[in-house]
Structure 1
Amino acid sequence: MKKFWTALWKLQVPHKVKVFAWRACKDSLSTKANLIKRKLDIEGKCSFCQHPLEDLRHVLILCPSIYEFLRSRFLVFQNGGQISSFLTAAMDILFKGTSEELADFFLMVWAFWFRRNKMVHKQIALPPQQVIGFAFTNKLHSVVVRHQLGLHSSKYLVYRWSAPPEDSLKLNIDGALFFYLNKAGMGVVLRNHMGEVLMASSRVESVFLEPEQVEAVALLRGLQLCMRLGIPKLIIKSDCLFLEEEINRSSESNAAI
């Protein structure tokens, strides 16, 4: 058990996900089952499938609205065995798989818990695919880079803006999702080789999109702003690696975005 808790706090996920994972493994989240145990007079049914009792194991693993996403990703849910508790499922993923799989598991169930809260408190039904995408594309950037470089030090990595050549301008774009507002935001900044800001703009999009679509729309908005400026050479930078790879393909992209 000590090995499991040690591995949990070493996972390459944002700190808030580690705290959530610790609380989930301790069964201290405010599920309807736990609230009933605390003598609250509430209905215990699952808000998605109307299962008689929304306990932790059901709301984060067994609910039909999410189970297939976990089953398709983790072997421990594919053998048809009984899942006795959330904690034992998490331990099986670690000891029968890898710490990277455990990190992915906690990211997914953290997203499912967010989705559950939106349904319970705001009656907003978010698609599971959307919240999963949100969780994975909003990992701390330093965590992602450390993983890609094979670095496991707790020291923070430093990132600096790199200047374009003197004959070019550089456009940095970014997009963000705001689940609680059902909106998306885009921001663009245009700089020269001296780092001087020539243009900056932000925009709210009322259409609720997938994370990668938000980045693509941010790119579109940035290009729309730059077209009228007559820029001969433009370098564009996004923090969405998938978007960059698809745009830079020599062959036609089949990606939805």
Structure 2
Amino acid sequence: MDFMELAMKVKKEGQAGDLEKFFLIAWSFWYRRNQFQFEGHIQHPQHTVDHALSMLKESQAIQGGCQQLLRRNMGWRPPPTGVLKLNTDGAMFQEQCKIGVGVILRDENGKVVMATCNKEPEFSEPMEVELLAILRGLQLCVPMGINDLIVEIDSLLSVNAIVAEGEFISTSGNLISSI
């Protein structure tokens, strides 16, 4: 039985979480082999399994903590009175060679003032798609005279690129300059 057949058997006959354990233990043995092959380090097989299961427990604990933290801290928060909040997002559809951008503008009560989505020509980088979504949102708001505006996005890379000082010689640079 080859590796993939064994993995499919674990998926079919195992319990929840068994496939994750299977791949983690398999990776640990691959790593153990590389340690021996390239560094001459020998590790007992039981230690390899114990280490893999320990990593799994740590990962699950972290994921559980992160999910609780996200539930507590995440979610849309309204802007201050008299200010509108613009949320934007971009998505890539590589198999169709297209991207989509979405924009929603809400007031302090969460009431939707405006929402739109649009297909755009394909960009090569996810950050460029996020930047284009921001630009499209601003292009809708600025001509309407909306000056008190909070822009909220889910791309930390895009935020860092926008607030960074310096000039960019790329498509991202052009988008950032326009924003």
Q: TM-score, with normalisation over the residues of structure 1?
A: 0.42
Change (3 A) 1:219 1:154: closer
Equivalent position SS for 1:157: helix
Tell me if the contact between 1:172 and 1:188 (Cα under 8 Å) persists in the aligned partners.
yes
Equivalent position SS for 1:173: strand
Equivalent position SS for 1:170: strand
1:252 aligns with 2:166: yes
Q: Map residues 29-68 of structure 1 onto 2, 5 A cutoff.
A: none
Distance 1:187 1:178 in 2: 14
Report Cα offsets for 1:57-109 as digits up to 9, x if no partner: xxxxxxxxxxxxxxxxxxx98xx949xxxxxxxx7xxx6xxx6xxx9xxxxxx
1:184 aligns with 2:99: yes
Q: Which residue of 1 aligns with 2:80?
A: 165
Cα displacement (A) at 1:234: 1.2
Higher strand share: 2
Which of 140, 143, 163 is the matching residue for 1:225? 140
Give the counterpart letter for 1:152 in structure 2.
G
Which of 158, 164, 176 is the matching residue for 1:243? 158
Equivalent position SS for 1:198: strand
Which of 178, 190, 202 is the matching residue for 2:117? 202
Query: Which structure: larger Rg?
Result: 2
Change (3 A) 1:23 1:254: farther
Q: TM-score, with normalisation over the residues of structure 2?
A: 0.57
Distance 1:154 1:236 in 2: 25
State the number of aligned residues. 138
Q: Which runs of 5+ in 2 are unaligned?
A: 1-16, 27-32, 40-47, 173-179
Change (3 A) 1:245 1:253: farther
Distance 2:117 2:151 in 1: 16
Distance 2:67 2:24 in 1: 24
Q: Map residues 134-153 of structure 1 onto 2, 5 A cutoff.
A: 152=65
Cα displacement (A) at 1:26: 9.5
Structure 1 range deviating more: 205-214 or 219-228: 205-214
Tell me if the contact between 1:185 and 1:205 (Cα under 8 Å) persists in the aligned partners.
yes
Change (3 A) 1:19 1:215: farther
Distance 1:167 1:154 in 2: 33
Cα displacement (A) at 1:208: 3.9
Change (3 A) 1:22 1:237: same
Tell me if the contact between 1:246 and 1:253 (Cα under 8 Å) persists in the aligned partners.
no
Change (3 A) 1:153 1:164: closer
Equivalent position SS for 1:194: coil
Of all paired residues, the percent bearing the same amino acid is 33
What's the RMSD between the two structures over aligned residues?
4.3
Q: Which residue of 2 aligns with 1:216?
A: 131
Higher helix share: 2
Tell me if the contact between 1:246 and 1:255 (Cα under 8 Å) persists in the aligned partners.
no
Change (3 A) 1:217 1:25: same
Cα displacement (A) at 1:152: 3.0
Distance 1:168 1:22 in 2: 49
Equivalent position SS for 1:228: helix
Distance 1:255 1:21 in 2: 43
